[in-house]
Amino acid sequence: MDNQYNNQYNNQYDPNQQSQQPQYMQQPQYGQPPAQYGYQPQYGYQPQYGYQPAAAPVPGKGLAIASMVLGIVALVFSYTTIIGIICGIVGIILGAIAKNKGFTGGMATAGIVCSVIAIALCLIFWIACGSFLCAAANASYYY
């Protein structure tokens, strides 16, 4: 008993007892990430802090963008009836397809509205030019 007391409190070496040193975490090897408690990274995956995972693609977003761009182009070229009407019709079709695919943003609606306004302006311009030409052809010139 006395021997155990001396070993325990005086830190004397006893060859019969196995040393019980506390197990500390070893330093990681070169190129290995440090071990974290309760977390095991997946194979081939290195966590990057501060980055969000990529969002899932929204169905119909590209069609909505194309519809809006064509609606704006149709508005700009509404004085030329061919380009304005073609871009307006395609813009309405793409906007309707984007809405049917479930796109809830305002781009599809903006594309449809711009396209409808452009087609209406094209028709008004066409009617105004036609009525002006008819009036000019029927006018009699008296001197």
What does the pLDDT read at residue 142? 60
| Spatial contact of 105 and 68, defined as CB atoms under 8 Å apart | no
Q: Which two tokens stand for residue 46?
A: 């290195």
pTM above 0.75, yes or no: no
49 in helix, strand or coil?
coil
Name the DSSP letter for residue 73.
H
What does the pLDDT read at residue 120? 95
Q: Which two tokens stand for residue 67?
A: 């519809």
Question: Can you name the residues that pair with 39 across neighbouring β-strands?
Answer: 36
Q: Give the mean model confidence (pLDDT) for residues 84-89.
A: 94
Q: Which two tokens stand for residue 28?
A: 């990681």
CA distances from 108 to 9, 68, 88, 118 (A): 81, 6, 13, 15
| Rounded Cα gap, residues 17 and 7, in angstroms | 9
pLDDT in tens, 98-120: 999 988 889 999 999 999 999 99
Phi-psi region at 52: left, alpha or beta (left = phi > 0; alpha = psi -120 to 50): beta
